Amino acid sequence: MARAPLIDGHGRTIGDLRLSVTDRCNFRCQYCMPAEGLPWLDREEVLHFEEIERLVALFAELGIRDVRLTGGEPLVRRDFPRLVSMLSPLVDDLAITTNGFLLERDAEALVRAGATRFNVSIDSLQRDRFFEMTRRDALPRVLKGLETLAAFPEAHPIKVNAVAVRGFTEQEALPFARFAREHPYQIRFIEFMPLDADRTWSPEQVLTGEELRAAIHAVYPLEPEPREAHATARVYRFADGQGHIGFINPVSEPFCGDCNRIRLTADGKLRTCLFSLNETDLRAPLRSGATDDELEQVIRDAVWRKELKHHVNDPGFIQPARSMSAIGG
Ligand code: SF4
């Protein structure tokens, strides 16, 4: 049954849900969590597959046809491909963001289950530097997983996301540009955001997309592609036709104006912005017998209060209590 679309208080229609299926991760990326990890949610706190399925079905009735499954690391959730097969019939586009460590094992099952888009996070193409950033000596395995996924035509286009951190990523710009030119993947650099659990982020650590673009353009000339509505990335094609590369610049060039995204955390909290300081609990009403109409009202009220934009560059910016691994990208 179709319901009226979800519109926020600024007239934006919501069409994209980022859904975290777990807060757990098998990596320890420096820009995300401490080496020792974080206190994980208890299993009972995490939404069950059937609860996720019910909420995604309701969101689909509310016009959300694009869903991205994230974590932590979604592939560490037991039986994850089964969840994908439960959700894929409900939406038009079911994307997955993964660190690729378990991709060689799960790629075929995820593609067969109906996942349509994949983003694989790789911050360096050099083994020692990959280890330095993720605290895992896993680059060969991740690249093998990427290769395994790339063998499925229906998995393309595959995006490779690299978090850009000043003092680290400058050395990655050209290796990734060459990687984009030589492989069927679209590389995208993402500016480091203040969502780290260590809470050590500072504006000085942000290596901007423009700086990376200029460094690459100087060697491999780039030409801009038109920006798609609601897009987070600014995409460029190599002038000689050798592929594409993108830059996601939430700090230096925010894209909040036509944001159509909301998020659901693994423990059932609705976040209307990546940087929300408030959350709306859907798990409690869900587990206490709320009807879909009642849940719809809770969702609609929360979306109406969706933030116009983030305040990362504003004096007095407050970093959310929840870190990236507990929100999901
Ligand atoms: S920061 Fe918030 S409002 Fe801006 S694009 Fe991200 S989710 Fe949307």
* pLDDT by residue, tens only, the chain of 329 residues: 789 999 999 999 999 999 999 999 999 999 999 999 999 999 999 999 999 999 999 999 999 999 999 999 999 999 999 999 999 999 999 999 999 999 999 999 999 999 999 999 999 999 999 999 999 999 999 999 999 999 999 999 999 999 999 999 999 999 999 999 999 999 999 999 999 999 999 999 999 999 999 999 999 999 999 999 999 999 999 999 999 999 999 999 999 999 999 999 999 999 999 999 999 999 999 999 999 999 999 999 999 999 999 999 999 999 999 999 999 87
Query: Cβ(233) to ligand 1 under 6 A?
Result: no
- The enclosing domain of 296 has a CATH number of 3.20.20.70
Query: Cβ(18) to ligand 1 under 6 A?
Result: no
Position 13 scores a pLDDT of 98
Give the H/E segment covering residue 287.
helix 283-287
6, 309, 318, best to mutate for ligand 1 pocket (most atoms within 8 Å of CB)? 309
Position 329 scores a pLDDT of 72
- Rounded Cα distance between 94 and 33, Å, is 26
Does the residue 6 lie in any domain?
A: no
Q: Which of 167, 153, 154, 246 is nearest to 204 (CA)?
A: 167
- Rounded Cα distance between 156 and 116, Å, is 8
Does the residue 62 lie in any domain?
A: yes
- Rounded Cα distance between 263 and 268, Å, is 10
Q: How far is the CA of 83 from the centre of ligand 1 (A)?
A: 27
Position 249 scores a pLDDT of 98
Nearest protein CA to atom 6 of ligand 1, as residue: 274
Q: What is the pLDDT of residues 150-191, one digit of tens each?
A: 999 999 999 999 999 999 999 999 999 999 999 999 999 999
Does the residue 7 lie in any domain?
A: no
| Residues 12-23: b if buried by 16+ CB within 10 A, e if exposed | bebbbbbbbbbb
Residue with tokens 């990596």: 27
Does the residue 175 lie in any domain?
A: yes
Range of the domain at 20: 16-327
Q: Taking the mean position of all CA atoms in its chain, how far away is CA 35?
A: 21
Q: Report residue 246 as tokens.
A: 């993108």
Does the residue 10 lie in any domain?
A: no
- Rounded Cα distance between 95 and 114, Å, is 9
Nearest protein CA to atom 5 of ligand 1, as residue: 256
How many domains would you assign to the chain?
A: 1
Position 1 scores a pLDDT of 73
Q: What is the pLDDT of residues 317-329, one digit of tens each?
A: 999 999 999 998 7
Q: Which of 32, 47, 3 is nearest to 268 (CA)?
A: 47
Does the residue 123 lie in any domain?
A: yes
What mean pLDDT value characterizes the chain? Answer: 97
pTM of the model: 0.96
Residue with tokens 């869900």: 286
Does the residue 268 lie in any domain?
A: yes
Dihedral angle sign, alpha carbons of residues 29, 34, 35, 41: negative
